[in-house]
Structure 1
Amino acid sequence: MTNEELQNAARESKEKAQRAIFDQYFSYVYTIIFSKLRSCASREDIEECVGDVFSDIYIYYEENKAGNGDISGFVGTVARRKAINVFNRITRRSVPAVSVDSEEAADIEAPDNTVETVERRELRSTLLSCIERLGEPDSTIIMQKYFFDRSSKEIGELVSMTPENVRVRSGRALDKLRKQLEKLGIKE
């Protein structure tokens, strides 16, 4: 959607313009927010952040500050910045500050599973990148099914498909994902 299309829709009805943005960019925004907050936020925090992103987008365009061209870059930037702000707020609240002097720091050892933790993070990051490369609606279907444990019926409502079509797309998307991972040398 371009800025011009959005402004034309807004002239007809602000609600129509907002719905068009939401319908087109929901999966994109949700994937960005989820990838940034999955390690520290609850599902409710993630969903609230997604709502806040769309609220910011609507406010920005209501003020007519938009530039020309495709708005997907703007939407992605708003989503990333909002996710970073939420991440900082949550992690600041949950991790107390600890003062350690240099003599104490020399005695601290890394936990035994540090290498394993780093490898898991890299694998998770690679997996999410591969899922994003599947494109829509496949990436949304995989994320909702395997990360959020949603049923085919619930996913179908999100992506405007029948549950049967969701199951078929899910199977095909998994095959594509396996092939991508095999090319990277990652096997089950």
Structure 2
Amino acid sequence: MNDEKLVRLLKHKPSKGLSTAIDIYGGLVKTIAIRIIGYENQSDVEECVSDVFVELWKSIDNYNRDKGILKNYIISIARNVSINTYRRKVVKHEVLPLEENDMEIDFDIDNEVSKSINKGIINETLNDLQQPDKDIFIRRYYLFESIKEISQSLNISTKMVENKLYRGKDKLKTALISKGIII
């Protein structure tokens, strides 16, 4: 089924559209959720997968096929929902009662500004990469796919994936150094 038909189903026949989307992309979404949330949290993974498809249904009007294929749109939703689920669970389990003398907050504004600047440079450099280099970089370092998985899904050799990752990291390093960031 092509992207246009699936988008129409999601808009006009949501139950059939969601069922079809789950059939096509359910495995991919679950893989992303497991990699971010962890294997040991199966109930959280299942809840996350459900949340991804609900979010897809809610935000289908925001999908723009000129910006990319539906699969990548679903991957970005899955990644964001999985990260939010993971953060919610980590924060929930790590909340400790505060003592009165623990109320002082140690916040390093320089570090936060540096992180923000670095993130901008990384995003800019990623956007400058050509396909499939950009896709390979995102799959490896944002979706945590193995080199073998990437090579199989893109139908290219593992050596080519490794070379493209090496060149991508080299471009990123050069961009960071040229912007004044010491590595």
For residues 138 and 94 of structure 1, the distance between their equivalents in structure 2, rounded to whole angstroms, comes to 38
What is aligned with 1:97?
97
Indicate conservation of the 8 Å contact 1:156/1:162, yes or no.
yes
What is aligned with 1:165?
160
Q: How far 1:56 sits from its partner (Å)?
A: 3.0
Structure 1 stretches of 5 or more lacking a match? none
Pairing partner for 1:55 from 31, 42, 50? 50
Does residue 1:67 correspond to 2:61, yes or no? Answer: yes
Q: How far 1:96 sits from its partner (Å)?
A: 1.0
Question: Residue type of the partner of 2:98?
Answer: V
For residues 93 and 116 of structure 2, the distance between their equivalents in structure 1, rounded to whole angstroms, comes to 26
Matches within 5 A, 1:134-153: 134=129, 137-139=132-134, 141-142=136-137, 152-153=147-148
Indicate conservation of the 8 Å contact 2:63/2:73, yes or no.
no
Q: Percent identity?
A: 15
Indicate conservation of the 8 Å contact 1:22/1:54, yes or no.
yes
Q: What TM-score do you get using the length of structure 1 for normalisation?
A: 0.52
For residues 46 and 106 of structure 2, the distance between their equivalents in structure 1, rounded to whole angstroms, comes to 39
Question: Residue 167 of structure 1: SS of its match in structure 2?
Answer: helix
CA root-mean-square deviation: 5.4
CA gap of 1:78–1:91, structure 2 versus 1, over 3 A, is: same
Question: Residue 181 of structure 1: SS of its match in structure 2?
Answer: helix
For residues 74 and 151 of structure 1, the distance between their equivalents in structure 2, rounded to whole angstroms, comes to 19
What is aligned with 1:186?
181
Q: How far 1:163 sits from its partner (Å)?
A: 0.5
Does residue 1:129 correspond to 2:123, yes or no? Answer: yes
Question: Residue 83 of structure 1: SS of its match in structure 2?
Answer: helix
